[in-house]
Amino acid sequence: LERIPQVLLNGDREKRVPNTTSLSFMGIEAESIVLMLSEEGIAASSGAACSSDTPEPSHVLQAMGVPPSAIQGTVRFSLSRYSTGEEVDYVLERLPRIVEHLRSLSPLWPPED
């Protein structure tokens, strides 16, 4: 993730569920990321689990202090006991390219200071 600028890891770095990661990508919509990940055979979800079926901003992410400008770009990745290191590497290999491509098309990128 160090290869992707303007990405937030949501939640505490240590006190967290070990199989789930929520990331907010500034300047792009989560639905676009999820769609492009799906085209690469990668499953992910937008927003928080308890609000992924509603277009409203996630109250969970708001309560966690995620900035409103970041909530719209939040993607959730979950692993199972069957997930492999190779699958994680596959995601980490493709994700920077996807984010870079979407940001090149986004009117929200680069963010205003």
Catalytic residues: 50
**If 0-12 CB within 10 Å is exposed, 13-18 middle and 19+ buried, where does residue 99 land?**
buried
Give the other-Cβ count within 10 Å of 36's Cβ. 19
Number of residues that make up the chain: 113
Please give the structure tokens belonging to residue 37: 């990940």
